[in-house]
Chain A
């Protein structure tokens, strides 16, 4: 079994998902579940911390594409933080920085959320 794990915690009133391991076609549905759970309970200020994420495939990126509109239409956002260079390169390659807030550190995302609200 592939090693992928999602941890959910709250930080400064925001919901943080910590991704661990490899997010690919096989594990993308787990991320979808976690995001759906948050959206269904009306949590829309979401930080995805990628510090422990080793690899991301297109299917993983697709999950963010599929839910960003839902989150933004309810006044929130998904902000991605703490990516390693390899993971960032994939995001960059497919054009994500134009649409998503990708930040150095989780704290930056917390600040940005507090400025936005």
Chain B
């Protein structure tokens, strides 16, 4: 080659290097850089085989990033290069010298060269160039040319790799922002929803869209049982036993599904669930979510799982909220019904207390709950007499109130019927026995008062004996005659009715066990003795005042904590 030719060639090479370097540095795509780099060197060095290998410092292996004319390997393959660090710092490595340490990338590796790609502080990888088509070794100026290009490209590559990494980081950031938006959107949406189906459907779609999956399920602990709340792509549904086992099995963290899980819950395998996660709220496991593989085969990152947890948490809290809401609505409805029942029950009692000529009368009932099982009545019969009644149904609340209403209606049906008090008691007993469970009964006392003769005819069916206090006597008498309490058994022996003659100043006090069994904080009962004494000491009071005195004393004794319904009916003959 003549001197001028050589010069021309040098200048040509210099120009190529300059132009290539400008193009490479301006480019931000490593793919573009690599492609050009390989093509230029292959053209210049007349080789049909070339590749770029990138070093993965974490796995300590090399990846074929770009390959041309190579049959044995393809892009993405991984190879090992076991050169020492110092050996990687030379300008080029001939395969012939290090054939043991270098990978065999082509059929014929003779005379092929590895050029290190590096910047001052980073080893990027190697550029591999196969043998010349002519099989001759490369000339020094050819190697020099390739070396120059490699140095320049390394900087460009390092830049574009950095750029790629930045792009990647930005994309990750965008995804995180999108995740946050999704969570924000959903929390807004869930707040407005009370429909569980709607919540679970929105949850499902957000999950599928955000994580790019098609198979998932969420098992949730409702107040009654563990149940499947939402799912997608499930081919074989989980039975109740599997759901319960799964719930037990899953820790409150991310768990990759293993053979043990598949053994225990077969549907996990059938549905190709790869990960399960237990969701806990305030330390209690409330849900288990399972997901299948992502459609783009990417593995789940920790942030993906965090998103999954947050989203599930949000959905579960919203679902819990709907249950609480329902409970509250139920409770409100119940309260409303009770308040209606209360006013109905109040309507069953005489109000106002009728006035009966020649009798000073007072009566009141106090329920420990909205409605109660105590009963009293004062009613006129067709023959002009008056019926006084007091009763106490076992138990409290609604069931007792219903039975009390039943008793009230029987009494009023029997009122105009011309039968004796004892016989009427018998009929009531038989009816109640027939119509109520055997553990429900009523203690009942009633009397017919003939105001012309002042005769007081009574039947006591197992009720706390009313007190008779005669004028000018300090002796309490108890009205005990009658028979068994109502509803316990069918009438075997007839009820006795007893007549007593009343005189002016005589007093009768009827009460239910809410009075004598009122309890103080030492678990002591108010008791009959205390009641008798109270009545004796206050016998001069009117019926109304005596009743108020008894009520206030009992209340004070029990510190206002009345455990049972309480009723008083007091009459005094003028």
Contact = CB atoms under 8 A, between A and B. Distances in A.
Do A and B form a real pair? yes
Interface of A: 24-26, 28-29, 32, 57-66, 68-69, 89-90, 93-96, 98-99
A57 B214 contact: no
Nearest to B171: A93
Nearest to B198: A29
A29 B195 CA distance: 13
Interface string B232-265: 1100000000000000000000000000000000
Given A59-B209, A93-B175, 17 more contacts: A25-B185, A25-B205, A25-B206, A57-B185, A58-B205, A59-B185, A59-B186, A61-B210, A62-B206, A63-B205, A64-B209, A65-B205, A65-B212, A65-B295, A93-B174, A96-B212, A99-B296
B310 interface: no
A59 to B, nearest CB: 4
B205 A24 contact: no
Contacts of B209: 57-65, 94
Contacts of A59: 182, 185-186, 202, 205-206, 209
B213 interface: yes
- Chain B interface size, as a band, is 20 to 34
The DSSP consensus for interface residues of chain A is: helix
Contacts of B295: 65, 95, 98-99
B444 to A, nearest CB: 62
A108 B198 CA distance: 36
A3 B202 CA distance: 18
Contacts of A95: 212, 295-296, 298
Contacts of A57: 181-182, 185, 206, 209
16 contacts: A24-B185, A24-B189, A25-B202, A25-B206, A28-B205, A59-B202, A62-B205, A62-B206, A62-B207, A64-B209, A65-B232, A66-B205, A66-B232, A93-B171, A93-B175, A95-B295
A53 B258 CA distance: 43
B208 A61 contact: yes
Contacts of A69: 214, 233
Contact of A60 (B186, B205, B214, B296): B205
A59 B206 CA distance: 4
Contacts of B186: 25, 59
A65 B209 CA distance: 6
Interface string B155-184: 000000000000000010011001001100
A55 B143 CA distance: 56
A56 to B, nearest CB: 9
B190 to A, nearest CB: 8
Contacts of B182: 57-59
A60 B206 CA distance: 7
Nearest to A99: B295
Chain B interface main SS type: helix
A57 B179 CA distance: 10
B488 to A, nearest CB: 61
Contacts of A58: 178, 182, 205-206, 209-210
Contact of B212 (A24, A26, A32, A94): A94
Contact of B208 (A29, A66, A90, A93): A66
Contacts of A98: 295-296
A99 B298 CA distance: 13
B204 A25 contact: no
A32 B208 CA distance: 13
Contacts of B212: 65, 94-96, 99
Contacts of A65: 205, 208-209, 212-214, 232, 295
Contacts of B298: 95
Nearest to B172: A93
A28 B202 contact: yes
Interface string B496-528: 000000000000000000000000000000000
B233 A94 contact: no
- Leading 7 A-B pairs by shortest Cβ distance: A61-B209, A62-B205, A62-B209, A62-B208, A65-B208, A58-B209, A58-B210
Given A93-B174, A95-B296, A66 B204 contact: yes
B87 interface: no
A96 to B, nearest CB: 7
Nearest to B213: A65
A78 to B, nearest CB: 13
B411 to A, nearest CB: 60
B574 interface: no
Contacts of A96: 212
B189 A25 contact: yes
A63 B210 CA distance: 11
B185 A62 contact: no
Contacts of A32: 201, 205
Nearest to B175: A93
Nearest to A28: B205
Nearest to B186: A25
Contacts of B202: 25, 28-29, 59
Contacts of A89: 174
A93 B189 contact: no
B530 to A, nearest CB: 68
